Chain A
Amino acid sequence: MHYDKKHIRNFSIIAHIDHGKSTLADRILELTETVSQREMKEQFLDSMDLERERGITIKLNAVTLKYHAKNGEDYLFNLIDTPGHVDFSYEVSRSLAACEGCLLVVDATQGVEAQTLANVYLAVDNNLEIVPVINKIDLPSAMPDMAKREIEERIGIPADNACLVSAKTGLNVGDVLEAVVNYIPSPMGDDNNPLQALIFDSYYDSYRGVIIMVRVKEGKVKVGDTIHLMAANKNYLVTEVGIRNPKEIKTDELCAGEVGYISAQIKDIKDVHPGETVTLLSNPAKEALPGYRKMNPMVYCGLYPVDSKKYLDLKDALEKLTLNDASLVFEPETSQALGFGFRCGFLGLLHMDVVQERLEREYGLDLILTAPSVIYHVYKSDGTMIALDNPSKLPDLTTIKEIQEPYVKAQIMTPKEYVGAVMDLCQNRRGIYLNLEYFDDTRMIATYELPLAEIVYNFFDKLKSFTKGYASFDYEYSDYKVGNLSKMDILLNGDVIDALSIIVYKGSAYERGSVVVRKLKEIIPRQQFEVPVQAAINGKIIARADIKAVRKDVLAKCYGGDISRKKKLLEKQKEGKKRMKAIGSVEVPQEAFMTVLSIDDD
């Protein structure tokens, strides 16, 4: 079956986290009978277990649907679901580049949030048609008029035609599909032009190699064509094309305006990057598509296999992850304490968390992560500058002129009764006050410049707990500023553990040192001898705690039934050991490497 361009709609859904984006996508899938009731799982497009468990969308996910509209005609929809969290805005920009329009979902009980603004601006930048959808109108606390007014006043797009829906109950979801037909433009492009297709995603199949997801902008591609990847300068023979609904369905060709997959026996993962343009070798396009704004990692950490023998497995897994996660970067590094591993860059902490969990679940790896660090600019006396992503590599103090750290400009939207708590939090994290204004009658926006290092660790959690979950938070990178910083080393049994070194603000070094050694003392299992834990700055010990020796650890009696019980207990402890790394004779649990970021007593 073939659809002319007039009957194709490519769109995505953007929304703040928790505003019901994935639920709306579920309803759309059901209404268009793309997925049968039998196959339907909640949050269908969140195909990773991780996404379902956490109730968040991490990766964009594309699906093709058929829709019979009220005007009697059949349409082909390409819906590209996108994540809502600040860490994943790059995924949003990727999907937007493949669309002509988007649904803007706003929670009728919450209104417009800071992150919604950021994503809408991205959509506007991409010249997309925006269709507002006000969700959760079935809730007693819904205020659809308030939500409409905010969309008009805060974003500046008309909202009188907004669909009022409940994705949960399915109320009025049909209106949304009609709005897609009526308001979102059909794709442009000419099948007869040279092929230009944008790779917006890819995945790995052990039989067919790398499968790429493309949005065809111009021209067409079919089985037997030889495609040319313009940036990588590589050629491949196309063996299969098709659409996903969301299962793969083979088609004869993919034409301008369409979204689908291409399999071309691409074996080397490194050749494929999202944002790449695909053309035909025989009739190449003159130039590549604009591609994506490359996102730079903000946070770095060391990633090590618990079992050193798994180093190559980890390398392989990281390479596969970068296939559809262009913002993940990694390079090999070595730690005295942890052996061979990788220094990896992430967009934020949630991103880091997700990568860790995917590596552990999808690739069965047990990992040690070191504490996340930002990139410090270390200016040396000789005039050179080092971009430092690993605190343990800080050069000798005598050679350093100054250390600069990255700041972000953060906008925090909060109900006004919590504004005091929010400001206290920002002050405690060395924030520089910029502005405070009313967003509407009940909410305020506080703008601060904050060191990225201060928000890297649990700032978001703190913010949520100080505001009972009502605050939302968005930030953008601002610049580097000189900081009163130095390196804090942690010594275990007298030896510096390089993987535990961090850069700290001198003003709070003593306090942090004592918190860290105390936490390590709690976390690190006792040994048959006493193990001192020390924190040091410039070789000077600033805090110490001793992990007491085990004095007695034996089951008193062990008869018939006790044996199996003892074994089960041991099994549990063994499970815990899987996430420990032996440093010298001391087995250190994974969470120990995070404790160096502990800030207070909670």
Chain B
Amino acid sequence: MTNKPQSLYIHIPFCEHICTYCDFTKLFYFGKYEKDYLDSLIKEIESYHINKVKTLYFGGGTPTALSDAGFERILTFAKQYLADDYEFTVEANVENLTESKLLIMKKVGVNRLSIGVQSTNDKLLKEIGRNHTFEDAKRVISLAKGLGFDNINIDLIYGFKRQSLRQLKKDLANFIELDIDHISIYSLIVEPGSILYTKGVKEQREGPSRKFYEVILKTLRANGYERYEISNFARNGKYSRHNMTYWKNQEYYGCGLGASGFVSGNRYTNTKSLREYNNLNFVKENSPVSPEENLEYYLITNFRMEQGFSRQEFKQKFGRDFEDLFGDKIKRFFLTNLIDITPDRIKLTDEGLLLMDFVILKLM
């Protein structure tokens, strides 16, 4: 391939506490696993012969659950792959985003933080298995800002069945008060494999969920945040460059336990078994993406962006005009008020974004 991926994702699967909604690959943190894992991880990253990437993202699990030494080692190792104009994000939990971790990041050159605040309601935080309070969150955010981190994202979850609209509005008000540039806001999904699923907790019903989303959209927009992706809002142009790789259906390296990647036209998923991983059997599934599949992937991802995609790029990639391919279906299924076709771009309308999965299924 002439165009090598410009993004690298690195997965740190360790957690000190397991959040009840989480279905990602994760393990309770035990110091003895750490060294072996990082050794294997470094070998995997090296195996790709990466030249330079523009974005680097440490996710988890909880990257900040690592020991300070391990944390510094892996961050420093990965940093060598970054080009000059880079974005380097590390995910952190409030409870283990210590001053020493922040200093390490500062030293290595991390320039974006993503902090799992999740809620500003202490009771709810406890219920979902988070071990921090909103006061704690405020404290670490001001600590981070004080150390010069000016590109911070916080995560918010909404849509617990018993959550009231008043609680949501309170969350939003609190979040806005934090005065940060990026907010990711997700409706709760009870995934099979999560503790909530085992407990039989249900998601919010569709009607209220829509109402909540509308309130979020309106409130954040009114406060100067731009929705650039279905669940992501930014001010001052502080988009997540790394995540936009995903949403533009571009290739990326994915390294670490259970990570997935998209390299040289193949999508792959790594093993979730630590033993296998430490035996250096990294990849579990790997399959080439056919042109038809790629079209589906393209829509699944690009339609998530408020700006959709450019007609010209679409034609370049797939050889035909979007309307040529889908015009009939758009007309037949009355999708015209869900898909906005402008002279240069194809995007979903506000209503279309709410019904994105429905729209894509109709187009398939």
Residues of A within 8 A of B (CB): 528-529, 550-561, 563-564, 566-567, 570, 573-574, 577, 582, 585
Asked if residues B353 and A554 are in contact (CB atoms below 8 Å), the reply is yes
Query: Which of B92-100, B161-169, B194-202, B356-364 lies at the interface with chain A?
Result: B356-364
Asked if residues A560 and B246 are in contact (CB atoms below 8 Å), the reply is yes
- List residues of chain A with CB within 8 A of the CB of B262: 560
Give complex CA distance A561, B255 in Å: 11
Give complex CA distance A552, B360 in Å: 13
Q: A553-B358, A560-B259, A561-B259 are in contact. List 20 more A-B contacts (CB 8 A).
A: A550-B355, A551-B207, A551-B210, A551-B354, A552-B210, A554-B353, A554-B355, A556-B186, A556-B230, A557-B189, A558-B247, A558-B301, A560-B254, A563-B300, A564-B260, A567-B296, A567-B297, A570-B296, A574-B364, A577-B361
B113: min CB distance to chain A, Å = 17
Known: A528-B338, A554-B230, A574-B361. A560 touches B261 (CB 8 A): yes
Give residues of chain B (19-54) contacting chain A, Cβ–Cβ below 8 Å.
Answer: 24
A557: min CB distance to chain B, Å = 5
- List residues of chain A with CB within 8 A of the CB of B210: 551-552
Asked if residues A561 and B260 are in contact (CB atoms below 8 Å), the reply is yes
Total contacts A to B, CB within 8 angstroms?
98
- List residues of chain A with CB within 8 A of the CB of B184: 557
In the A-B complex, the 3 residue pairs with the closest CB atoms: A556-B186, A552-B210, A554-B356
Asked if residues B332 and A585 are in contact (CB atoms below 8 Å), the reply is yes
B282 near A: Cβ within 8 Å?
no
- List residues of chain A with CB within 8 A of the CB of B243: 559
* 30 pairs from A and B in contact (CB 8 Å cutoff): A528-B358, A550-B358, A551-B207, A551-B209, A552-B210, A552-B213, A552-B354, A553-B206, A553-B354, A553-B356, A556-B187, A556-B230, A556-B231, A557-B184, A557-B186, A558-B230, A558-B300, A558-B301, A559-B59, A559-B243, A559-B246, A560-B261, A561-B259, A561-B269, A563-B267, A563-B297, A564-B267, A570-B300, A570-B357, A585-B333
Asked if residues B206 and A585 are in contact (CB atoms below 8 Å), the reply is no
Give complex CA distance A551, B208 in Å: 9
**Most central of B189, B230, B258, B361 by chain A CB within 10 Å:** B361
- List residues of chain B with CB within 8 A of the CB of A553: 206, 354-358
- List residues of chain A with CB within 8 A of the CB of B259: 560-561
Closest A residue, CB atoms, query B357: A553
B150: min CB distance to chain A, Å = 23
Give residues of chain B (305-364) contacting chain A, Cβ–Cβ below 8 Å.
Answer: 332-334, 338, 351, 353-358, 360-361, 364
Give complex CA distance A585, B329 in Å: 9
- From B246, B297, B332, A582 is in contact (CB under 8 Å) with B332
- List residues of chain A with CB within 8 A of the CB of B186: 556-557
- From A555, A563, A577, A585, B357 is in contact (CB under 8 Å) with A555
- List residues of chain B with CB within 8 A of the CB of A529: 334
B304 near A: Cβ within 8 Å?
yes
- From B230, B254, B293, A567 is in contact (CB under 8 Å) with B293
Asked if residues A556 and B360 are in contact (CB atoms below 8 Å), the reply is no
Give residues of chain B (210-257) contacting chain A, Cβ–Cβ below 8 Å.
Answer: 210, 213, 230-231, 243, 246-247, 252, 254
**Most central of A529, A558, A561 by chain B CB within 10 Å:** A561
Give complex CA distance A551, B24 in Å: 28
Give complex CA distance A474, B24 in Å: 58
Asked if residues B246 and A570 are in contact (CB atoms below 8 Å), the reply is no
- List residues of chain B with CB within 8 A of the CB of A585: 332-334
Closest A residue, CB atoms, query B158: A556
Asked if residues A567 and B364 are in contact (CB atoms below 8 Å), the reply is no
B71 near A: Cβ within 8 Å?
no
- From B189, B260, B261, B351, A556 is in contact (CB under 8 Å) with B189
B277 near A: Cβ within 8 Å?
no
- List residues of chain A with CB within 8 A of the CB of B187: 556
- List residues of chain B with CB within 8 A of the CB of A551: 206-207, 209-210, 354
B88 near A: Cβ within 8 Å?
no
Known: A552-B206, A585-B334. A558 touches B357 (CB 8 A): no
Asked if residues B361 and A573 are in contact (CB atoms below 8 Å), the reply is yes
B291: min CB distance to chain A, Å = 14
B81 near A: Cβ within 8 Å?
no
A396: min CB distance to chain B, Å = 32
- List residues of chain B with CB within 8 A of the CB of A570: 296, 300, 357, 360-361, 364
- The 0/1 profile, CB within 8 Å of A marked 1, for residues 92-114 of chain B is 00000000000000000000000
Asked if residues B246 and A552 are in contact (CB atoms below 8 Å), the reply is no
Give complex CA distance A574, B292 in Å: 13
Give complex CA distance A296, B297 in Å: 52
Give complex CA distance A555, B189 in Å: 9
- List residues of chain B with CB within 8 A of the CB of A554: 230, 353-357
Give complex CA distance A410, B333 in Å: 48
B128: min CB distance to chain A, Å = 15
B175 near A: Cβ within 8 Å?
no
